């Protein structure tokens, strides 16, 4: 069951990547990212309100959002920073690179998470898992050769470097998720980290992007921005539940 949920999450993440590319292509990245975090928070807000007003309605279900301690808020805020770093680098990379490059690079993130689980959580890999790791690493190097045919150098293109940084930060977030899911409600973590991200992005939006908006790529509203939030929220909801 849990493996099935992981594949369901991966499917929605694929839809999320496609909509993300559509949203940022020729568009201002910072406003798109702000609206994504805003809508992700709003999509989960009904669960928070129901949990507060009528706790018995969702009690005992995955949709219930309990109150969390100050310590939990601190841990979740740390996750918000890690994910936001990953997203900022990732969104800019997706804007300037084809999905045929960003997708496979991003696919190396689970391998980084897997190796982290090996060294940090003491988990052990079997022969098939080690084979998967080796194949992924080899594929990454083969991808660097194919990228040259598209005029993209993996060693000189800063957007490829941005994508790699995004994948590393995403892997760190994946390892941190395991720590969070062992201690706190998965739904509470998802809601609050989205909310903190929204607040952080609002600060970035009005202090860094808005004053110089006329000198950069203009922002254009696209309905794919909403789709990004919907697919990501579903993927994260299923992923966090499976991770518990």
CA 178, CA 172: separation in Å to the nearest integer? Answer: 10
Residues 63-121 have pLDDT tens digits of 888 888 899 999 999 999 999 999 899 888 888 887 767 766 766 666 676 776 677 66
- Residue whose C-alpha is closest to residue 79's, from 234, 236, 202: 236
Would you tell me how many other CB atoms lie within 10 Å of the CB of residue 166?
24
Residues 131-178 have pLDDT tens digits of 877 887 777 667 666 655 666 666 677 888 888 888 888 888 888 887
Q: Measuring CA to CA, how many Å separate 186 from each of 76, 193, 237?
A: 11, 11, 8
CA 119, CA 136: separation in Å to the nearest integer? Answer: 19
Q: What is the DSSP letter of 72?
A: H
Domain range annotation of the chain: 2-52+72-243
Judge if pTM exceeds 0.85. no
Token digits of residue 183: 């201690």
- Residue whose C-alpha is closest to residue 72's, from 191, 241, 244: 191
């Amino acid at each position: 069951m849990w493996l099935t949920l992981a594949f369901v999450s991966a499917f929605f993440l694929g839809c999320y990547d496609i909509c993300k590319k559509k949203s940022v292509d020729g568009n201002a990245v910072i406003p798109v990212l702000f609206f994504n975090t805003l809508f992700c928070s709003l999509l989960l807000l009904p669960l928070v309100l129901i949990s507060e007003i009528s706790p018995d309605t969702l009690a005992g279900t995955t949709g219930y959002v309990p109150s969390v301690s100050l310590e939990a808020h601190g841990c979740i805020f740390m996750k918000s920073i890690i994910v936001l770093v990953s997203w900022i680098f990732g969104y800019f990379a997706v804007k300037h690179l084809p999905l045929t490059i960003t997708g496979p690079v991003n696919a190396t993130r689970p391998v980084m998470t897997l190796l982290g689980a090996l060294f940090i959580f003491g988990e052990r890999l079997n022969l098939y898992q080690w084979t998967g790791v080796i194949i992924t690493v080899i594929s990454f190097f083969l991808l660097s050769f194919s990228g040259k045919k598209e005029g993209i150098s993996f060693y000189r293109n800063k957007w490829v470097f941005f994508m790699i940084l995004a994948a590393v930060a995403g892997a760190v977030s994946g390892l941190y998720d395991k720590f969070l899911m062992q201690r706190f409600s998965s739904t509470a973590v998802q809601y609050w980290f989205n909310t903190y991200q929204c607040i952080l992005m609002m600060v970035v939006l009005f202090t860094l992007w808005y004053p110089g908006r006329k000198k950069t790529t203009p922002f254009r509203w696209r309905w794919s921005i909403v789709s990004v939030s919907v697919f990501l929220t579903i993927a994260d909801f299923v992923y966090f539940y499976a991770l518990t």
